[in-house]
Amino acid sequence: MLRKGRIMAANLDGATVTDTAELARMMVGHDIALNLERVTTAQADAILEVHGLSRDLPGIRAPFREVSFSVRQGEVFSVTGVAGNGQSDLAAVLGGMKTGAKGTVILKGRRMAAGRWNPAKHDAAYVPEDRYQTGSVPDMSLTDNFLLSFFQEHSKGGLLQRREARRKTENLLKEYGVAATGPEARAGSLSGGNLQKFILGRELSRKPVLFIAEQPTQGLDVQAVADIWQTITRAKQHMAVLLFTNDLEEALALSDRIGVMFRGRMLDILDVDMPTATAKAALVERIGLLMAGMVLPDKPGQGARP
């Protein structure tokens, strides 16, 4: 195992290594805490409500159909499923990256047609799946990437207040533990984990009421995953968090509720209540069956509930 160009450990006898905590420790040089302390919040009002959301495309199967759910203040609501079952398109629509959806979106009591939904104009923030092509401009500095989300706030009389933006970018790097040479570093020069921490920090700096994150830890090392999980856990104390993830362990670790999608439909919404190992195993089994399209409602006629 290499770390910073040096061999930190070697398995020359071919023995199977099963201690994941030890592997993580060798990778980053210290203990990693991926077992988060679950913070539950009292039942709160819905910040986001989605009713009958569909997106039809001519000549092909609709990416998602009649999707309904809500996200409450102080909770993480995860949308999960096997990749390719509509989660990505749903995230892109709610993130403002794709159009053509029908249905109703309600944010903090304000009702609008899905076609009018724009998170940037409605006090919501979105972290897309592709951190390099969509979440940032790799050839631009971190300061300029910061300005992508704060252009109006730092524009006065037709001029950009770049010095102030640079100061805020520098503070963001410190607050979110982003390893970079400084605010003028190219975004593309950062590691995937550090760039993702920067993007999350930038969007959270907007202080949204709704934070949408799509596959936020995909392809990242264990230290970056731990940092981002902590960031999301802290964020939910101040807003509603909508998380799209195909990583079931991530969904279980972070979520208060989980919506499972199959072939474009949200088959069920489950509370994440795992007081015992047996309860966790039962929940994982149920989610697995739903991911395979085997709908098992608790009561006859019961389907997904918002």
Residue 97 sits in a domain of what CATH number? 3.40.50.300
**81 lies in a domain?**
yes
β-pair type (155-156, 159-160) = antiparallel
pLDDT in tens, 130-183: 999 999 999 999 999 999 888 777 767 667 788 999 999 999 999 999 999 999
**132 lies in a domain?**
no
What is the pLDDT averaged over residues 84-107? 95
Number of domains present in the structure of the chain: 1
**288 lies in a domain?**
yes
Q: Is the pLDDT of residue 253 over 90?
A: yes
**185 lies in a domain?**
no
Q: Give this prediction's pTM.
A: 0.84
Question: Would you place residue 185 in the very low, low, confident or very high pLDDT band (cuts 50, 70, 90)?
Answer: very high
**68 lies in a domain?**
yes
Q: Is the pLDDT of residue 2 over 70?
A: no
> Residues 205, 200, 141, 179: what is their CA dihedral angle, to the nearest 10 degrees?
110
β-pair type (257-262, 155-156) = unpaired
**85 lies in a domain?**
yes
What is the pLDDT averaged over residues 81-98? 95
Amino acid at the residue 89: D
Six-digit token string for 140: 């631009």
Q: In the chain, how long is the greatest CA-to-CA distance?
A: 68
**294 lies in a domain?**
yes
The 10 Å CB-count burial string (b at 16+, else e) for 166-204 is bebbbebbeebebebeebebbbeebeebbbbbbbbbbbb
Question: What is the span of the domain harbouring residue 273?
Answer: 41-123+245-306
**186 lies in a domain?**
no
Runs of H (alpha helix) within the chain: 20-28, 87-94, 142-150, 162-175, 192-204, 222-235, 248-254, 277-291
Q: What pLDDT does residue 302 have?
A: 43
